[in-house]
Amino acid sequence: MAVDLLGKVLRRGATAGRIVEVEAYRGTDDPGSHGFRGPTPRTEVMFGPPGHLYVYFTYGMHWCANVVCGTAGHSEAVLIRALHPVAGLEEMWLRRPAARRRRDLCSGPAKLTEALGIDGAHDGADLVAPGAEVTVTDDGHRPDAVANTARIGLRNGAELPWRWYVEGDENVSRTRPGPRP
């Protein structure tokens, strides 16, 4: 379940952050999922075994990281949308010169991959293998309050309420400062 990822720690090398915002994408009955139209070279990792990283490139300049959750052949993944930085802050600042405040470091799906240095080279990486470069660990922390809303930035399937985030965490991505049509 996607919500189980909230509160866990995503780590790569010296940099790590607690997951505070996620979105779920499920296979062939979710029109917002990359796996909706079946496997392609890009999305084949989604159809693979769980516990792996699905990294894709979008908008011509951004990487986004997902955790594959479904059983093999079932294209289920959870997009990690925001982290609360907990380690390797200096490294994050170096990787993200655009960040002005601490919450700018990882408050968005493409920001956190940049902050941790995750890119296409990590697509398909095993998150639970011994000595894995990128890992998700559970240190026992549990979020206080979890909110559940519609997903963000989708053309299709945007109405499905499959986004979860830790209420009150300043690192959760801001959906909109002002009103939107």
Number of chain residues interacting with DNA (CB under 7 A): 42
Applying CB under 7 A, among 10, 16, 53, 77 the residue interacting with DNA is: 77
Amino acid at 117: G
Query: Does residue number 145 form part of the binding site for DNA (CB under 7 A)?
Result: no
> Considering the rule CB under 7 A, would residue 166 count as an interface residue with DNA?
no
By the rule CB under 7 A, 143 interacts with DNA: no
d(CA 13, CA 115): 12
User: From CA 170, how far away is CA 86, in angstroms rounded?
Assistant: 13
46 binds DNA (CB under 7 A): yes
Nearest distance from C-beta of residue 131 to DNA, angstroms: 26
Task: Decide if residue 90 touches DNA (CB under 7 A).
Answer: no
Among 59, 101, 131, 140, indicate the residue that binds DNA (CB under 7 A): 59
Pairing of strands 62-68, 9-12: unpaired
CA distances (Å), origin 23, targets 15, 81, 83, 87, 103: 22, 7, 13, 23, 19
Is the separation of the CB atoms in 64 and 56 below 8 Å?
yes
Q: Which burial class, exposed, middle or buried, applies to 106 when counting CB atoms under 10 A from its CB (0-12, 13-18, 19+)?
A: buried
130 forms part of the interface with DNA (CB under 7 A): no
Among 29, 61, 130, 131, binds DNA (CB under 7 A): 61
Residues lying near DNA in the complex (CB under 7 A): 23, 25, 32-35, 37, 40-43, 46, 54, 56-62, 64, 66, 77, 79, 81, 96, 98-99, 104, 108-111, 151-156, 173, 180-181
